[in-house]
Amino acid sequence: MANLSPMMKQYFDIKKQYPDTILFFRLGDFYEMFYDDAKLASRELDLTLTGRDCGQEERAPMCGVPFHSYETYLAKLVAKGYKVAICEQMEDPALAKGLVKRDIIRVVTPGTVLESSMLDESRNNYICSVCVRGNTAGVCFADISTGELHATVLQDDLSEQLKNELSRFAPSEILVNSAVLDFQQLPAFIRNRLSASLELLGDEEYEESKTAAEVLEQFGKPSLEDLNLADKPALTAALGALFAYLHRTQRTGIERIAAIELYSGAQYMKLDLNARRNLELLETMRSKEKRGSLLWVLDKTRTPMGKRLIRSWMEQPLLSPAAISRRLNAVEELTTDAVLRDAIGQELSGIHDLERVMSRVVYGSANGRELRALESTARCLPPLRTALSGVHSQLLGSIIERIDPLEDLADLIDRAIVEEPPFSLREGGIIKAGFSEELDLLKGDMSSGRGILAEIETKEREKTGIPKLKVGYNRVFGYYIEVSNSYKNQVPPAYIRKQTLTNCERFITPELKDLEGRILGAHDKSVQLEHSLFEQVRKQVAGQMERVQRTAVAVAQLDVLLSFANVSVDNQYTRPIVDMSGKLELRESRHPVVEALLDAPFVPNDVTLDKVENRVAIITGPNMAGKSTYMRQVALITIMAQIGCFVPAAYAHIGITDAIFTRVGASDDLAAGQSTFMVEMAEVADILKNATSDSLVILDEIGRGTSTYDGMSIARAVVEFVANQKTLGAKTLFATHYHELTVLEDLLDGVKNYNIACKKHGDDITFLRRIVRGGADESYGIEVAKLAGVPNKVVKRAKQILAELSQTVPAVSAGKAKQSSVEEVPLQMALTPPGEAEALECLRQMDVNTLTPIECMNELFRLSKMVKGE
């Protein structure tokens, strides 16, 4: 190390401060990496590994990326979970005396990305901090690219609550204390389900070192007491650790955190991970695409801020009828005025990402083009306010008040920055003429100097008689006079030879050298002055952060409300009645996503649920008939109403629902050692423990993963539990292929039977997609198998087997059910030939609806051989 060059000593001194990062070390036009960093980067980025003489016997492994296009390489490293420390030249190398000063300007981690090219404008990029103490967890989510910070306290059943909160915000980086690792499944969940970077901080970093209080005081934010955090030590510790981490990685810009929103579960509808996934709110289950989700239907927003806000609203439906009504009033006013909608939409289309541009301004990384984007956005705000001037609803009125026209900022930027600024601040040419008298004088010297050069060239040609004499410039030798070899005998004695080339000679003169100093001095001074002026302008804009942030939030809300209004008009949605009645009454309701995907008209259906006479709807009927679609549309309409959107129904009366729980479909979790049936039962258990009488419960085909009688028994017990007001009494849609459960309408209060209407023509079946009162008298499984393409031979044989089973297995009729319970049905069939008994036992446990046609054929072939004793 003693023999290292000064530059490499500087490199190692800086690297020592950030040992867990890849160091981007600025050398001229490149960010260079050395030693282990170079080897890692060359492997991960597919770069050529070279070497550099650093004063030791062995050359240092080295690779680099161009500084003007570093974001592409940075994005790849950060996406793979690496941290990258950006080491910048803190002075112009041309003006540096000795070694160029360098320092870390920021450390880029998955949760602290600011570069627009690395961010999805339609979603937030959160960094999360979690501190667990006993049975309490403090959790906060910050998006430094927008200035948001959301915080809450969780208690009891922390593992599941943390999973739900983390999946809702989907942070890209999570900071935790050691106690979080006691939840053994949580780290795997973070890595596998969220694909997030997990950072274990030392317990000392989560000690109450007053970091949070100090940061809040330093940047003029409300105190811990004002934020009601003084008695929340776990949350205070989480905030403190987050602020300390941001200060360590970002150096500047923590003041960008505009406000801390302290939220609780009492404010929003509870939607756990299963509900969000099963209802496909933001993406489809299979392809993970936006198309086919509720977001795809509702998101017609025009601004990046609106696109992020609509996601947040959809994941946090409101529980306050008053707050919901304010949104609905605004949407209704917009739906009735097409001219207003068009005027607002036109102005919103010209608005850039105010939040993220402002973040880069505050962090000192915004360039001239981004300031110009801010200026063009500000020009849209006065006409936007004018368009809203005649509105009557309270929410739209408050939006007008919060939209600041920002005319002073627009004027400042327009006076200072050229209309087409260069990408780099070091190039010059970014400040407009007339903004700075000193800069104009320097540029005048540069212009006049270039004119004098042209005069010198003309004068020297005339004086020497050399027709092709020319004055040129390069960075190494500066300005020079170039004479071709054919005329070098005519060169005057006063010319001083500077460089000899193959076909010419280059000279300088005292006059030319003096002029060079004047021109180059003016150029260097002008570049420095432009950089300084730009930073002053950027700092002035950063000082107006709160005004811009307030405007951005208001614009985002207006954008989402306009999106709701446009979708409601285009799709013929209706304003719902939302209150605390506990009712859920829909007439001619439709599935918002399915009807958008269908070419044919969607068949509407009615819904009647309440907390008294219609608590549980048992829905029977064949698979593929539309039971799942019907139940999902009820849940989606409920969510739409509580986020303040109109709904796809002729009439909708929706009592506030505090949570939606779903148990839909079959899946397993082999990594956790859980089968499909185990996962199903775990989800049912979670629902029964956490649902309340104000919840909406969606249960689809409970008990399918086990034997027929076990499954039927579990299904019946679950219905009894959810229907009973003493145990739960929640509004429940219960779809089942056990049509025997329809007897419960006569046995339990609040239970009603419904079925999917269908017409049977011989062996053919037609689904009418209508929900009607009453229970289905059969499951139509064989007809569905035929509809799915199972060969006729198999279908005929299945009917024979069904007939034999019907004669052997006692039927559970409605009359008998009143005198007997499920447990009284015989659990075994007394059939003598062993092969037949074994085959029939297999059939009893088989669910044909879950089998593909080829699986049906294979199973029947196996059963046939079993019966024949082969």
Cite the annotated binding site for ATP by residue number. Answer: 621-628
Report the length, in residues, of the chain: 870
CA distance 204 to 689: 36
Nearest C-alpha neighbor of 51 from the set 40, 63, 66, 39: 63
Sign of CA dihedral 623, 628, 631, 637: negative
Nearest C-alpha neighbor of 272 from the set 663, 725, 674, 700: 663
Contact 159, 247 (CB under 8 A): no
The span from the first CA to the last CA of the chain, in angstroms, equals 81
Q: What is the DSSP letter of 822?
A: G
DSSP output for 377-410: HHHHHHHHHHHTTT--SHHHHHHHHH----HHHH
CA distance 800 to 212: 74
CA distance 298 to 301: 9
Residue carrying the six token digits 């570093």: 70
Determine whether 804 is exposed, middle or buried from the number of CB atoms within 10 Å of its CB (0-12, 13-18, 19+).
middle
CA distance 859 to 40: 53
The set of residues, in sequence order, having a beta carbon less than 8 Å from that of 12 and lying 6+ positions away, is: 1, 4
Binding site residue list:
621-628
Determine whether 255 is exposed, middle or buried from the number of CB atoms within 10 Å of its CB (0-12, 13-18, 19+).
middle
Measured N-to-C along each axis, helices 545-571 and 354-362 cross at an angle, to the nearest 10 degrees, of 160
Q: H/E/C letters for each residue in 699-768?
A: EECCCCCCCHHHHHHHHHHHHHHHHCCCCCCCEEEEECCCHHHHHHHHHCCCEEEEEEEEEEECCEEEEE
Distances from the Cα of 790 to the Cα of 622, 662, 796, angstroms: 16, 31, 10
CA distance 338 to 503: 75
Residue carrying the six token digits 């196996």: 862
Instruction: Collapse the DSSP code of 659 into the 3-class scheme (helix H, G, I; strand E, B; otherwise coil) and give the result.
Output: strand
Tokens of 101: 């000063």
CA distance 154 to 235: 9
Tokens of 618: 């048992």
Q: Is 431 left (phi over 0), alpha (psi -120 to 50) or beta?
A: beta
CA distance 422 to 428: 8
CA distance 63 to 351: 40
Buried b (16+ CB within 10 A) or exposed e, 341-366: bebbbebbeebbbbbbbbbbbbbebb
DSSP output for 96-141: -SSSPPEEEEEEE-TTS---GGGS-TTS---EEEEEEETTEEEEEE
Tokens of 584: 């859920």
CA distance 215 to 360: 20
Return the percent helix, strand and coil in the chain, to nearest 5.
Answer: 50, 20, 35
Contact 66, 58 (CB under 8 A): no
Tokens of 108: 């880029």
